[in-house]
Amino acid sequence: MPSLENITDDLDVWLYQQFGATATFLIESVLIALLAIGLFSILGLVLIMMERKVSAYMQVRLGPNRVGPKGMFQTVADTLKLIVKEGMTPDGADKFLFNLAPFIVMIIAMVILAPLAFSKGFQIWDINIGVLFITAVSSVSVIGILMAGWASNNKYSLLGAMRSGAQIVSYELSAGLSVIAIVVLTGSLRMSDIVASQENGWWLFKGHIPVLIAFVIFIIAITAETNRAPFDLAEAESELTAGFHTEYSGMKFALFFLAEYVNIFIVCAVGATLFLGGWMPLHFGTNTQFNHVMDYIPGIVWFMGKTFFLIFVIMWFRWTFPRLRIDQLLNLEWKYLLPISLFNLLLVTLMAIMGWHF
């Protein structure tokens, strides 16, 4: 059966025979860059469309339904409009930082893509500190947001950026702790090892209640980290117009918008890898016939299915819950999530030492 691993390996061998080592490396880098950019643009279109449809159905509306069949091409039309629009820079703004900020946010989103395992052997960089890399780099994105807020020379932007800083810094803690819970069970920070350890069952099922708690805390924390409702204080339309990207227009705004959705995809992919077994198919203990059927579904489908399920859950949150106030937000993190996840980490460690998980 042809798999993505065979295709990439064959391509690598063929390129090596044709052009030699250096040229192969360069060509593969370019190919990966093209694939990443392609993935990002498709993700932007698909996720924004999905969000608009999901929100419409949850609010008893129809949603976009005019451009193309069932409104499929609405986001394409919107993107075209954004490309054509003028990218204004306000007079009082710090021009260099103002124009740099959207690219920083976007580049960070791209860098986090590196250690994600899309399918067996289909991974840009199987770095041995994959999980650490993701947590470390993802918190840098707050720099881009602060930069945008500060350079805009606008009180709403600055307020949004400051809130976003407080929020990401505090929620990074409980997200990290719930990730560590899985690292404790796996004993490795490498993404492929984490996926391989779930061959006979996903951690969500194998890890009993402590992993379930870690999963819930992780979902809450990533919702806050990606600045999504109910934690969208950085944007908070009703209070801050659009928060840190109030002053942005045209393609620069589109980059922020795209980065938000790409970040959602990435954090959900990390969640799917850690808790739902990445590209591993669903297996039930001894039911070999069922397991065989599941094995025939390619890994990329499993991975995308799990990721999009998590994305849907996060969208569900957004269109159900009201926005928190900033003090409520920080209360939730420091008084509830952090103590619970610290205690939970102890439980998971005890479980790992005693070998109580399956």
Partner 1 sequence: MFLKEYIKEVFGAVKSLATGMRRTGYYFTHHKEIITQQYPDNRDTLQLPERFRGEVVMIHDENNEHACTGCTACELACPNATIKIVTKFDVDEETGKKKKAIDTFVYHLELCTFCNLCIEACPTGAIKMDQTFEHSVFDRSKLTKKLNHDGSKIRAGVE
Report the interface residues with partner 1, using CB under 8 A: 54, 57-62, 316-317, 319-321, 336, 340
CB of 61 to partner 1, least distance (A): 5
CB of 81 to partner 1, least distance (A): 23
Q: Which is nearer to partner 1, 178 or 186 (CB)?
A: 178
Question: Pick from 82, 219, 98, 231: which is nearest to 158 by CA?
Answer: 98
CB of 222 to partner 1, least distance (A): 16
Quote the CA–CA distance of 268 and 124 in Å, as a whole number: 18
Q: State the DSSP H helix or E strand holding residue 296, giving kind and residue range, or none if neither.
A: none
CB of 58 to partner 1, least distance (A): 4
Quote the CA–CA distance of 315 and 117 in Å, as a whole number: 23
Rg (CA), the chain: 21
Q: Which is nearer to partner 1, 117 or 338 (CB)?
A: 338
CB neighbour class for 37 (10 Å; exposed up to 12, middle 13-18, buried from 19): exposed
Q: Which is nearer to partner 1, 17 or 59 (CB)?
A: 59
Q: Which is nearer to partner 1, 247 or 333 (CB)?
A: 333
Quote the CA–CA distance of 49 and 43 in Å, as a whole number: 10
Quote the CA–CA distance of 262 and 271 in Å, as a whole number: 14
Q: Which is nearer to partner 1, 57 or 103 (CB)?
A: 57
CB neighbourhood size of 129 (10 A): 14
Quick one: DSSP state of residue 68? S
CB of 62 to partner 1, least distance (A): 5
**Maximal C-alpha separation, the chain:** 68
SS3 122: strand
Contact by Cβ (8 Å): 272, 300: no
CB of 157 to partner 1, least distance (A): 31
Q: Which is nearer to partner 1, 287 or 320 (CB)?
A: 320
Q: Which is nearer to partner 1, 63 or 165 (CB)?
A: 63
CB neighbourhood size of 244 (10 A): 33
